[in-house]
Amino acid sequence: MNRPLAATGWIMLTTVVLVFALIPLDPFLSQRAQGLPDSIVTFNERITDFGTFGWMIYLSGAILAGAFVLHRAASQGPLRQKARTARDLAAYFLLTIGTASALVHTLKFFIGRARPVLFAELGAYSLTPFATSNLYESFPSGHSTAAGAFFGVFAMLLPRFRPLFLVLALTIGVSRVIVGAHYPSDVAAGLLLGLWTSVMVAFLFARYGRLFHLGPGGWPLVGQSHPTNKKPARKAAPESGEP
């Protein structure tokens, strides 16, 4: 099995297991989270909107445009190389965030899960597909998807700090439950959807030699590949008469 397909399979399996494990606990965990002390709720209200697609798309788009112009204007040399790297980085961010946004909003539209604010009226498992109201866009969590994609990009670029980035993504995801915007299963699905997108786009970039290359195990690694299969130089044949 090739590495992208295997990565997809494991992430999808993890998503399904987590979502189905959390669904029975959604009402209880949601109510407990919203009942936390006011200081905790207030803190989470302040950080939760970090996980919005808008500023991520605009910022990466602006950097991409600036890097593209600089790359075209710069002559050959270190400046042109730096502009190319900045362009590829911004493109990786933009494509990852844009793809994750399109996927999560499509799923929201087709699933139509009612948000926790409607719990007393409809319960935790009410589905209204094709609804056009934000009240029926609980699954998956958009903010969690954005956080998963954003920090997933950093996790792919800086693998030494992956635990930190995953904790930061989880922090934003948990805040969505505490502020009463989503159920835990919504957050789990969103985080893993964003993470999956960042991994798949990294595979795409590695295929074309941008930012990443495929390592010995077929996983995308940062940087250009360094071929190690060069044939050794052939030894010159001895001239006639030499021993």
Q: How many domains does the chain have?
A: 1
| pLDDT the model gives residue 231 | 45
**Whether residue 154 has pLDDT greater than 80:** yes
Domain hosting 156: range is 3-211
Q: Are 154 and 202 in contact (CB under 8 A)?
A: no
What mean pLDDT do residues 161-188 have? Answer: 96
220 SS3 class: strand
Q: How many residues are given for the chain?
A: 243
218 or 22: which leads in pLDDT: 22
Tell me the longest C-alpha to C-alpha distance in the chain.
Answer: 100
Measured distance CA(72)–CA(128) in Å, rounded: 49
45 or 79: which leads in pLDDT: 45
Tell whether 237 is covered by a domain: no
Tokens representing 218 are 């077929």
Tell whether 21 is covered by a domain: yes
Tell whether 72 is covered by a domain: yes
Reported pTM? 0.87
Tell whether 240 is covered by a domain: no
Q: Which CATH number goes with the domain that contains 179?
A: 1.20.144
Quote the mean pLDDT of the chain. 88
Phi, psi of 32 (to 5 degrees): -65, -40
Tell whether 242 is covered by a domain: no
| pLDDT the model gives residue 53 | 93
Tell whether 222 is covered by a domain: no
With b for 16 or more beta-carbon neighbours within 10 A and e for fewer, the 87-119 pattern comes to bbbbbbbbbbbbbbbebbeebbeebbbbbbebb
| pLDDT the model gives residue 226 | 52
Q: Categorize the per-residue pLDDT at 206 as very low, low, confident or very high, splitting at 50, 70 and 90.
A: very high
222 SS3 class: strand
The tens digit of pLDDT for each residue in 77-132 reads 777 788 888 889 999 999 999 999 999 999 999 999 999 999 999 999 999 999 98
**Whether residue 11 has pLDDT greater than 90:** no
Q: Are 68 and 35 in contact (CB under 8 A)?
A: no
